[in-house]
Amino acid sequence: MRKLVVIGFVIAGAAIGLLSSLGETLALKVFMMGLGALIGAIAGAALSRIGRGRPTPRRDDALRGLGTSSQDLMENYWRDEGHPQFMKPPSPDSKQFGGTGGMAD
């Protein structure tokens, strides 16, 4: 359907170019028809949106706010030290199993 719109505009542009140059030389008629067809093709493609890609949803926006997107990691870099949320490895100084680790135990 979009191609028919563009073809219709091309034909209409060529017809307008031909009608505007009636009574002139053949070279001018051909030139005006070509110019009208070019303008018609541009207008038809713009109106039927040919050449524009379909918008694709961004995958990053779907996970925004969950702490897993690159934007979330950037915003929370100082808090999480560059690791994903709740996946920060324990520091080597922390003692997981209690005790002080000293000679007093």
pTM of this structure: 0.48
Distances (CA, A) of 94 to 58, 72, 77, 90: 40, 26, 21, 7
Q: At what angle do helices 2-20 and 26-48 cross, to 10 degrees?
A: 150
97 versus 49: the higher-pLDDT residue is 49
The mean-pLDDT minimum among 15-19, 30-34, 87-91, 97-101 falls in: 97-101
SS3 (DSSP) at 13: helix
List pLDDT tens digits, range 11-68: 999 999 999 988 889 999 999 999 999 999 989 888 887 666 666 655 555 555 565 6
Tokens of 35: 């110019």
Domain residue spans of the chain: 2-48, 56-87
Tokens (6 digits) for 25: 């030389």
